[in-house]
Structure 1
């Protein structure tokens, strides 16, 4: 008897038409809710920026956006062809991208995302892993999240409770690839002639290899920096001149001075001046610094570039001006009076003011 009753109820349910939302309903929902997702994307991006800055993780950019109405309605229509689908099922109404410099930083960013937000593991995906071992193509890590229980209690986050957002984490090269393959509408992801498809695959592989090589180079540069610290400490200075090596040596030998750090691109130019002068490694540079130290007082103020040039002028004034300064890309035209004092000690019989004026170099306070 019970089975017949249940069967009758099922027939009634099948015959009743379940009301579905119309396109107008979806448009109304979008218009009434999208501003929340616009705010959500902005505050999540700001939170990620401040967190990455605080942890010293470099990134290219963290762009964000709310989904547009046209894209929203198209997705609703496409999804409803296969199954019942509503705006509440959509997880990418707020989208954020974290574009890192190197691949190893993706894992660092991913770890922070897990700590900052509630990650929906079943909806999140690593596109690189899904490619498998024998394929190349679009690579990125996608997280679907909500703000999490801790933030739900905070007044500035409370109205965003329960709303999902998507975070994509990729390197700059991955991002460039995604822009070409997807976002620019070049239709490169579809069926192509075999020769073009082959070139397309080779290019994807080259970008992936470049990402891996950048990552390896970064690791090796960090190892080089650590080895410099050890070698300088142990006076193993038969090492090629580099901006990092020169900067570290100055810091170690002249730590008592109050000097400013110079931009790396300018420092590279002055290292070229050292080579023109005849100083080719850190050992040669260290010897010249040692000669200079006893003539410089603690109140001597300069930059790294100023110190390097002071080393050369102290070593051989004529050689510096006739061989280096005259050919310099950044030929300086004035000198502080405090630099004159230590040069006068080195060249007591020389009229420095007259010497410098002959080169059209002004002496300033």
Structure 2
């Protein structure tokens, strides 16, 4: 509780009454803050929206006094103020602001008359103030506290903006850009240029993400339709390709040699080997599988035939395919070593591993013409 006498602020009678009411209802606003923050966090999680931050605060008493000094004639009661409690949701992308706004609209009672969409401002210096501001109440159907029955009557503000808009707003406030004092034209011009650049960056981030998502959808459709030659080889396409388990058939044949169990592991690291060998599309991998599967099985059978291994790694198929592919092209031990370096990282045992594969492969028919 602030020990300063309210009268010492020198406010008019209504201002003095508002500060006294603020002090009296402060515990209610604290309960309200916890409720709003909890509701917003749960709503973002439920709707799978990953946001930069969710903030909430109760107006500082001195800040309230300052506002009453500036606009004292505008307010008669504490309930006339809409920003005693303020919350802010900071998103990463501009198109998420509208999604968040729709969620807020569903959750709370929105006072549309006092809400404002500052994104509709078109002044060049308005970028940092382009957030969406909703004035809300908490409906009893969503949350109520028997200790504070008036909680559902007081309005509060929710600001929704992007991370770049938020950074600009903070810096803008720090420079005094909006404070009203005369800024030299050179500085004002540079600030205006920066505002335009940040707005463009905000838009570009959103467009890039939209483009990437559309590309991923196209890749998924092409992969699942089997049009592998049309799909460039990259992390996204390879991950989707692996979902089809293209090496499973070979793995099961190899496992049958010793009736072994297959231990599943990620095959994403083998993308580096395919890129190193200049595979450009998923069709190149499919072609390798068709051309080398039988020889890869024979190579694995030669290596496992005299063992009693009853567990094999799910990478066994792709490793033997790569080994056969490299050896068929005459790259020998040196080529195999470089491929193993790509897969496992540079290590001394990669050359020894390559020697073993080469020695075993020399016993098989596919190497006779190499």
SS at match of 1:247: helix
1:88 aligns with 79
Residue 247 of structure 1 pairs with residue 236 of structure 2: no
Native 8 Å contact 1:119 1:143 kept in 2: yes
1:39 aligns with 31
SS at match of 1:322: helix
| Counterparts in 2 of 1:22 and 1:40: CA distance versus 1, 3 Å | closer
Deviates more, 1:241-250 or 1:231-240: 231-240
Tell me the distance in 1 between the aligned counterparts of 2:263 and 2:166. 42
Alpha-carbon distance, 1:220 to partner: 1.2
Native 8 Å contact 1:76 1:86 kept in 2: no
Native 8 Å contact 1:239 1:281 kept in 2: yes
| Counterparts in 2 of 1:49 and 1:281: CA distance versus 1, 3 Å | same
Listed as ranges, the matches of 1:179-194 within 5 Å are 179-182=170-173, 185-189=174-178, 190=180, 191-194=182-185
Native 8 Å contact 1:173 1:207 kept in 2: yes
Tell me the distance in 1 between the aligned counterparts of 2:234 and 2:104. 37
SS at match of 2:151: coil
Tell me the distance in 2 between the aligned counterparts of 1:52 and 1:116. 11
1:75 to 67, 82, 91: 67
Considering only aligned residues, what root-mean-square deviation do their CA atoms show, in Å? Answer: 3.8
Native 8 Å contact 2:18 2:76 kept in 1: no
Alpha-carbon distance, 1:242 to partner: 1.8
Deviates more, 1:149-158 or 1:225-234: 149-158
Deviates more, 1:108-117 or 1:307-316: 307-316
| Counterparts in 2 of 1:167 and 1:260: CA distance versus 1, 3 Å | farther
Native 8 Å contact 2:288 2:325 kept in 1: yes
Q: Which runs of 5+ in 1 are unaligned?
A: 1-18, 351-365
2:48 aligns with 56
Number of corresponding residues: 311
Native 8 Å contact 1:99 1:172 kept in 2: yes
SS at match of 1:323: helix
Native 8 Å contact 1:144 1:165 kept in 2: yes
Native 8 Å contact 1:313 1:320 kept in 2: no
| Counterparts in 2 of 1:39 and 1:288: CA distance versus 1, 3 Å | farther
The TM-score, its normalising length taken from structure 2, stands at 0.70
1:160 aligns with 151
Tell me the distance in 1 between the aligned counterparts of 2:62 and 2:199. 33
SS at match of 2:113: coil
| Counterparts in 2 of 1:52 and 1:89: CA distance versus 1, 3 Å | same
Native 8 Å contact 1:95 1:167 kept in 2: yes
| Counterparts in 2 of 1:272 and 1:166: CA distance versus 1, 3 Å | same
Alpha-carbon distance, 1:307 to partner: 8.6
Residue 349 of structure 1 pairs with residue 349 of structure 2: no
SS at match of 2:82: coil
Tell me the distance in 2 between the aligned counterparts of 1:88 and 1:261. 59
Alpha-carbon distance, 1:160 to partner: 2.3
1:203 aligns with 194
Tell me the distance in 2 between the aligned counterparts of 1:69 and 1:134. 33
1:97 aligns with 88
The TM-score, its normalising length taken from structure 1, stands at 0.71
1:326 to 324, 327, 341: 341
Native 8 Å contact 1:26 1:73 kept in 2: no
Listed as ranges, the matches of 1:285-364 within 5 Å are 285-288=285-288, 312=322, 315-316=325-326, 318=333, 322-326=337-341, 330=345, 349=360
Tell me the distance in 2 between the aligned counterparts of 1:285 and 1:227. 19
